Copies of this chain bind each other. A is one copy, B any other.
Amino acid sequence: MAKLTPRNNNNNRPCCDVLHLLPSSLIALLLLWTLWSTRTHIVSDPNNTPISNRAHGPPDQTFYDDPDLSYSIEKPLRNWDEKRKEWLRLHPSLAAGSKNRILLVTGSQPSPCKNRIGDHLLLRCFKNKVDYSRIHGYDIFYNNLYLHPKMDSYWAKLPIIRAAMMAHPDAEWIWWMDADAVFTDMEFKIPLDRYKDHNFVVHGWPNMVYEDKDNKSWTGLNVGSYLIRNCQWSMDLMQAWAKMGPNTPNYEKWGRILKSTFKDKPFPLPDDQSSFIYMLSTDRARWEKKTYLEGSRVTESITQITMGRGVGRRWKGL
């Protein structure tokens, strides 16, 4: 299945322990293609035959045809529920089953990991998620681009989740998982029925998030893995959330506020987890109702192992 170099070229081709050099421009092109390609959009049926393809889809215009459409996290997207609903109406084969469709999204930085075995473990962690997705019939997308030049590290999630929602109106939920989170129970089934009245599901404890006013912890919930519904509410949430991020002029000011609120927060600048707890607790009326803090410990299906400052810790959870 591959055209060879002209014969008699003595290519040295051990299968695995090879050096791999890919032109970075080629890689960037491929990565961008997979994310931004909205022209073709193929979803499989059990027969593994494409059942829909936007390139040959209905001639009606959709939100994709709006010349002002922007994937940027900095440009609010309005009327998303209506736009998505109309798109689904025009794509009935994708609308079927969309209510329970999950797109698992994960990713890591564009550059090689500084730790010697970091990328090897990222590879294994990605394999773990691909295995889980295959078993449960989920699509999975791995991002390794910063879609906003200032939003790196934990803040890189929001732009990619926003883009994934827009690129996948067929998916009801985006399931974000940090690169270093792994499934330890491959048969774990996410109880979507339990979350039917909510738009954001994250492991955490209400008392730690909404109470403990004078002694709040930044570990009241864990945004290493969360479900977020593909809807206008979520777009608004991300818009508000990103206002504490490095893309805003108030980034350092927010860092001081968060550090004084969460005494155990180890970073001087805002992180997405502290910021989210702050949002929930200070604008409870706006965000609490649709946010499900999952406290169940029955199914310990995900393990997140993070090491910093030379100390390894394990987070077990649903």
Interface residues of A (CB under 8 A from B): 1-5, 7-22, 26-27, 30-31, 33-34, 37, 40, 42-51, 93-94, 96-98, 100-102, 108-109, 111-128, 130-131, 134-142, 144, 152-157, 178-184, 186-187, 201-204, 208, 217, 219-222, 224-227, 264, 266, 271-273, 294, 297, 300, 302-309, 311-318
Contacts and interface: CB of A to CB of B under 8 A. Distances in A.
A7 to B, nearest CB: 4
Contact of A3 (B13, B152, B317): B317
Contacts of A16: 108-109, 113, 152-154, 156, 179
Given A93-B46, A124-B22, A128-B30, A318 B3 contact: yes
Contacts of A135: 34, 40, 42
A98 B48 CA distance: 8
B1 A137 contact: no
Contact of A42 (B18, B136, B181, B222): B136
B305 A22 contact: yes
Contact of A112 (B10, B116, B128): B116
Q: How many copies of this chain are found per oligomer?
A: 2
A2 B119 contact: no
Given A11-B308, A17-B109, A123 B119 contact: yes
Contact of A101 (B48, B96, B180): B48
Given A11-B313, A44-B46, A93-B46, A180 B20 contact: yes
A2 B50 contact: no
Contacts of A93: 46
B187 A40 contact: yes
The 5 closest A-B pairs by CB, nearest first: A44-B137, A47-B97, A12-B308, A2-B317, A3-B317
Contacts of A315: 2-5, 11
A262 B308 CA distance: 52
Nearest to A43: B46
A19 B2 CA distance: 37
Contacts of A34: 131, 135, 186
5 contacts: A18-B308, A30-B128, A30-B184, A49-B100, A126-B130
